[in-house]
Structures are given as structure tokens and as C-alpha cells.
Amino acid sequence: MTFVPILLLILFFCAIVGLLIAKAKGHKIPVTVIFTLGFFALCMAGIVTFIKNGENYDAYLYQHWQPIAPDKIQPLVAQGYIVVVDIQADWCLPCQANKANVWHREPMVNTLAADNIVLMRGDLTYPDPVVESYLASQQAQGTPFNKIYGPANPQGIALPKQLDISDVYKVLSVMN
């Protein structure tokens, strides 16, 4: 299946090289045609890179997020668990970006599947007093809000609103 995009990418680059050679030999070839083909080649390269990434983009379906239970966080941490909290909403664009770029990525899904990690998610798509109370206790202003608690830091470490996988890995590495 990935053969077709790679073949198209090769054809685009061959066409661009052919047009550049023809232009160098004096043929009247508009520069806009060469730039347009170059743009399409870049787009195709992006598609090929995306396809070749090799991730299972459905891996997140196997994650087990529990509804947030603020009163259970500290007892779990006391038992040696790492608790990952994600407060999000369907209407929150940064939340959706965090899901796509971090929480739903296969390497992150595999990391969070560890036996000592508990996932808790709060959803503010609709008003929820438990989630709102938790956010108020954290002095947080809306969504997205992400925090990781662990034995090494029972009070937790809040993550940036715009997440990167490296942010989560860095905090997880200091939690045990």
C-alpha cells in the first residue's frame, strides 16, 4: 500500500529534475510549474513520512482511563503507583491536539500501559462538579490540565497546556 505514494514521490522528483534540465537547455518552462511540482512533491513526502512512521494509530483504544477520583490519587501514590491525570473536553482544541500528539501515540500508549501507572481522566465537555472541584483545588484555569503524581513527588507535577511527548517522559522519569 505504501508503494503507490513512494512511486508518486519518485515521479515528482524525476519530473522536477527533467524540467530543470530542459530549462537549463533553453526551453521555455514557467518557473511556477517547477515550484508547483515541488510543492506537490513536498506534500507527497509528508504523506510518505506519515505512512512510514509505523505507529499503530489505534493503540489508544486499549488504554484504560478511569474517571477522575481525586480522593483516590494520594492512596494510590502511597501504594507506589504513578497517577496520570488528564482533564479535557471535546470542545477544547488544545485538548484534542494533546490527544493526537501525545496521549494517542503508540509509544506513549505503551509507556502508560505499565502496571504501576493509573490513568485518570476528567471530562468537562459537560459540567462535572467532581472535575470542577479538582481543578479548583489545583488552582487550574480550565482545560487542558494534566498532572502526574508519583512516589517521588506525591504533590504531583503539572504539565504544560501544550503537551509534547518529551514533557510526559521527563516527568514520568522522576516519579519513581
In percent, the amount of the chain with pLDDT more than 70 equals 94
Predicted confidence (pLDDT) per residue in 79-94, tens digit? 999 999 999 999 999 9
* Cα–Cα–Cα angle for 65, 92, 142, rounded to 5 degrees: 80
The band of 44, judged by pLDDT with boundaries at 50, 70 and 90, is: confident
> Does residue 172 or residue 6 have the better pLDDT?
172
pTM, 2 dp: 0.70
User: Does pLDDT of 111 surpass 90?
Assistant: yes
C-alpha cell at position 50: 506519515
For the stretch 130-159, pLDDT in tens is 999 999 999 998 899 999 999 999 999 999
| pLDDT in the model for residue 159 | 97
pLDDT (0 to 100) of residue 51 = 64
Task: Give the model's confidence band at 2: pLDDT under 50 very low, under 70 low, under 90 confident, else very high.
Answer: low
Residue 122, helix vs strand vs coil: strand
Give the SS3 label for residue 158.
strand
Helices (H) and strands (E) in the chain, counts: 7, 5
Burial string for 32-58 (b: 16+ CB within 10 Å, else e) reads eebeebeeebeebeeebeeeeeeeeee
Banded pLDDT at 54 (limits 50, 70, 90): low
User: What's the rounded Cα separation, in Å, for the pair 22 and 9?
Assistant: 20
Between residues 78 and 61, the one the model is more confident about: 78
| pLDDT value of residue 93 | 94
Residue 26 Rama label (left phi>0; alpha psi -120 to 50; beta): left
